[in-house]
Chains A and B, each alone.
Chain A
Amino acid sequence: MLALLISAFLAVVIAFGYALLAVPFEATQGVVQKIFYFHVPSAFAMYFFCLLGVIFACLHLITKTVAYDLKARASFYTALVFGILVIGSGPLWAKPVWGVYWTWDPRLTLTFIVFILLLGYVFARKIFDDRGLEDRGALVGSILGILALPMMLLTHLSVKIWRGLHPSVLREERGLDDSFSLALQLGVLAIFILGFAIFAYWSRILELERAVMIVERKRR
C-alpha cells in the first residue's frame, strides 16, 4: 500500500514537472493549454472509475456480496473526486480561451450531469446508511451510477454529434506533437496511479470500518 503511494507521488512529480517545464507553450493558447495534461486524464479517470463502479454495483445486485458493494462505493467516490477535478480545471482553461468560465456546451452539460449523478450516489448512500437501510441505498445508488453510463457515452460522442465548443484534440488526423503527446501520456499514467491508490485505500478503509463496527457491536 505504501509502495502505491510512493509510485503515485513520483508519477505526479514527473508528470507535473514535465508538463510545466519541458513541454513548449502552445502557439495560440500559451501556458494555459497545459491544463490539458491534467484535465483530460482526470476525465478519463472519472469515466473509468464510474464504469468500474457500475460493474461492481451490478455484481453486488446480482450476487448480494458485500465486498462488491464496498468496491462499487470506493469506485464511485474515486470517480467523484476526478469529476470535481474535471469540472474545476476546465473553467481555468475556458476563461482565457473562451472568455467565460462556463458555457452550456453539450459536452460540459453532459459532464455536469454525470457529476450530479455521482454526487447523487454519495448522498443516496449516506442518507440510506444513516437510517440503517444499506440495501436500499445500494440499490438507489446503483441506479444512479448505471444512469451515468449512457451520459458518459453521450459525453464522449457529443463533440461529433452536436459540434459544440469543446475541442476534440485527440481525434484530429494530425494528432498531437510528440512532446505534447508524451506529457499527456505521463499525465494519464500519474492520474491513473493516483486513482488506483485512492480507490484501493477507500476500498480497504470501508472494509476496515465495517470490521471495526462488527467487533465493537460484539463487545457491547
Chain B
Amino acid sequence: MTGYVYFSVAYLFLWAVPLTLAILGYRRLRSLEKRLDELQK
C-alpha cells in the first residue's frame, strides 16, 4: 500500500509538470497581450 501511495504521488507529479507549464504559458501569453495593448495605446 505504501508503494502505491508513493507511486501515486510521483505519477501525479509527472502529469503536473506539463500541465503547470501549459498554465504558466497561458498566463504569460495573457500578460504579454495586455502589455502589447498598453504599448499600442
Give me the interface of A with B, judged by CB distance under 8 Å.
Answer: 1-2, 5, 8-9, 12, 15-16, 19-20, 30-32, 34-35, 38, 81-82, 85, 88-89, 92, 190-191, 194-195, 197-198, 201-202, 204-205, 208-209, 211-212, 215-216, 219
Q: A35-B11, A194-B19 are in contact. Are A201 and B39 (CB under 8 A)?
A: no
Closest partner residue, chain A, to B3 (CB atom) = A31
Interface size on B, residues (CB 8 A): 25
Q: For B33, what are the chain A residues with a Cβ–Cβ distance below 8 Å?
A: 208
Please indicate the chain A residues that have their CB under 8 angstroms from the CB of B22 in the complex.
Answer: 5, 8, 194, 197-198, 201
Tell me if B26 and A12 are in contact (CB < 8 A): no
Q: Which residues of A contact B7 (CB under 8 A)?
A: 31-32, 34
CB distance from A202 to the nearest CB of B (A): 6
Chain A residues with Cβ below 8 Å from B28 are: 201, 205
CB pair A2 B26 closer than 8 Å: yes
Contact between chains at B21 and A198 (CB < 8 Å) = yes
A212 touches B39 (CB 8 A): yes
- Bound together, the chains give a CA A82 to CA B22 distance in angstroms of 12
A194-B19, A197-B22 given as contacts; is B35 within 8 A of A16 (CB)? no
Given A35-B11, A89-B14, A211-B36, answer yes or no on A201-B19 (Cβ-Cβ < 8 Å).
no
